[in-house]
Structure 1
Amino acid sequence: MVKRIVTAVVAAVALLTAPATQADEATRYVAMGSSFAAGPGLPPRQPGTPAACGRSTKNYASLVATKRGLALTDVTCSGATTANILTTGQAGQPPQIEAVTPDTRLVTVTIGGNDVGYVSSLFAYGCQNTGGANCGQVDRNAMRAALTTVHEKIGAVIAAVRQRAPRARILVVDYLTIVPRTPSACDGVPLTPEQLAFEREVADRLAAATRRAARAGRATLIPAAAVSAHHDACAAVPWTERHATAPGRVPYHPNEAGMSAVADLVTARIR
């Protein structure tokens, strides 16, 4: 009897003093991408992060990490292109891909919009149509040319993640819907019908390119564009800001409702 008790005590002590296993540790999660992942204009900003990146504590990665108890490394940054993920530093930081390590188990990425000039063209048209100054121009030919190759650039990001973290699950999140499907716009999206048609073309082709890249790279697509189809900037319940915003907000970018909706989509897939 005494021998059995001693054996049981020794086993219990060994269990309590054993080092934590990988299952006991928080899953390492890396979030990459542009402003639609970073969340500029959604206070508060993540402490100690570059102001230029606009990394919010309310962006979808932060919400997902909190809900699921994940160890988040957030390297998202406003204005990022696929080059800023793969080769070119931004805001004094290295390329985002350097955050991905062999022990990374989850990666989310929203990228490609800046490669094709999507939101910047919306800014330019909105500025022109509301009497703004120094609005810039929209080069439609250049944008359409970029749309023919952006799937390859997004695919290169997926491939780089796969190489650096072979065991990571990769979720590619496309862009929330901004422009309505209606023939005419609203005060929230002050574009002409012809401009609206062009921007819908851009949004549709960008979503298709993202879907194509995810499929080719065996990544999981999170279809934020499709799910937000009835929550554009003209909708009664928009998931993005309108052209005219409150101070500190960023036009045509995700609001709290949009980020929360995307976080729910991501959480549902990883559950």
Structure 2
Amino acid sequence: MGSSFAAGPGLGALQDNSPLMCARTIDSYPQKLARAARLSLVDMSCGGAVTSHLYHGGQLFQGPQVRVVGPATRLVTITVGGNDIGYIGDLSMLASRRSPGVYGWLVRHLWVGPKAWADRDFARLDRELGEVFGAIRRRSPAARIVVATYPTILPPAGTCALLSISAAEAQAMRRVGDRLAAVTAAAARRARAAVVDMYGLAAAHHACSAEPWVSGWTNGGIAPFHPTQAGTTATADAIRRAIAHQQL
């Protein structure tokens, strides 16, 4: 999961960065939200984005994502931060160590392992989220900012075959997911942004559940540990409920 960055109405239905380079899907939650709420959309979602790409740019030779919002923007949705602290990346690498074939062999022999807790710079993430919110406020003072946290990926305890990681690895990464959700929500609330707590809402829909909102490793295809169609729909619906009382 990279960033998700949607705005409307009044901006026109356009995309400002490359869908191909960014591996963007037409079924992401910003796209579903825009269709359901009949909003014009500028979709800046980009796989692999870190928080600084939103306000500083530099991803795939692109400018800052916030460049597309302006005084007419009324809604901005954001999900970002997991790449900053190595959440999805480390889950994928941990799982790929158990994969057969050349790639699994390379990871087992060349990857040094997941980041140490001290190397996951949550303080920097907190600061950079503040920079994003500040940049949006300056460019779009009338916009409602909605921050959707990452959905729950791991079960509350243990592991399952779909994850391809051990119980100990799952426990360590669960701690990362908990902290990511907490830091994101706290930074958003300080900026007076609305928080849609998908980490909490998806607690019963983790990758090992009967009705998952995220994929695991073995059933994840090209996007393991990312939202399923049910997950993106649930996120779009949750955001719609959060803004239902607003005049957009």
TM-score by length of 1: 0.79
State whether residues 185 and 196 of structure 1, in contact with CA within 8 Å, keep that contact through their aligned partners in structure 2: yes
| Equivalent residue in structure 1 for 2:145, among 156, 160, 170 | 170
Q: Are 2:225 and 1:258 equivalent residues in the alignment?
A: no
- What's the counterpart of residue 87 of structure 2? 118
Q: How many residues align?
A: 228
Write the deviation string for residues 75-123 of structure 1: whole angstroms up to 9, x where unpaired: 1100000111111232343210101111111000111111101000001
- Kindly report which structure 2 residues correspond to 1:84-95, keeping only aligned pairs within 5 A, or say none: 84-95=53-64
Query: What is the distance in 1 between the residues matched to 2:68 and 2:227?
Result: 24
Query: What is the distance in 2 between the residues matched to 1:123 and 1:260?
Result: 24
- What's the counterpart of residue 35 of structure 1? 2
Query: What is the distance in 2 between the residues matched to 1:268 and 1:67?
Result: 12
- What's the counterpart of residue 168 of structure 2? 194
Task: Give 1:64's aligned amino acid.
Answer: L
Per the alignment, do residues 168 and 36 of structure 1 end up closer, same or farther by CA in structure 2, a change over 3 Å counting?
closer
Query: What is the distance in 2 between the residues matched to 1:226 and 1:250?
Result: 22
Bigger Rg, which one = 1
Query: What is the distance in 1 between the residues matched to 2:237 and 2:46?
Result: 21
Shift of 1:36: 6.4
- What's the counterpart of residue 130 of structure 2? 155
- What's the counterpart of residue 14 of structure 1? none
Query: What is the distance in 1 between the residues matched to 2:89 and 2:205?
Result: 20
State whether residues 240 and 252 of structure 1, in contact with CA within 8 Å, keep that contact through their aligned partners in structure 2: yes
Task: Give 2:97's aligned amino acid.
Answer: Q
| Equivalent residue in structure 2 for 1:235, among 209, 215, 226 | 209
Query: What is the distance in 2 between the residues matched to 1:143 and 1:190?
Result: 24
Query: What is the distance in 1 between the residues matched to 2:21 and 2:191?
Result: 30
Task: Give 1:251's aligned amino acid.
Answer: P
Task: Give 2:24's aligned amino acid.
Answer: R
Report the RMSD for the aligned CA atoms in angstroms: 2.0
Query: What is the distance in 2 between the residues matched to 1:48 and 1:213?
Result: 26
State, as a whole percentage, how many aligned pairs show the same letter.
Answer: 35
Give unmatched runs, 5+ long, in structure 1. Answer: 1-33, 39-45
- What's the counterpart of residue 211 of structure 1? 185
Per the alignment, do residues 269 and 166 of structure 1 end up closer, same or farther by CA in structure 2, a change over 3 Å counting?
same
Query: What is the distance in 1 between the residues matched to 2:20 and 2:146?
Result: 26
| Equivalent residue in structure 1 for 2:105, among 133, 138, 145 | 133
Q: Are 2:76 and 1:76 equivalent residues in the alignment?
A: no
- What's the counterpart of residue 76 of structure 2? 107
Query: What is the distance in 1 between the residues matched to 2:40 and 2:199?
Result: 27
- What's the counterpart of residue 12 of structure 2? none
State whether residues 95 and 163 of structure 2, in contact with CA within 8 Å, keep that contact through their aligned partners in structure 1: yes
Shift of 1:142: 4.8
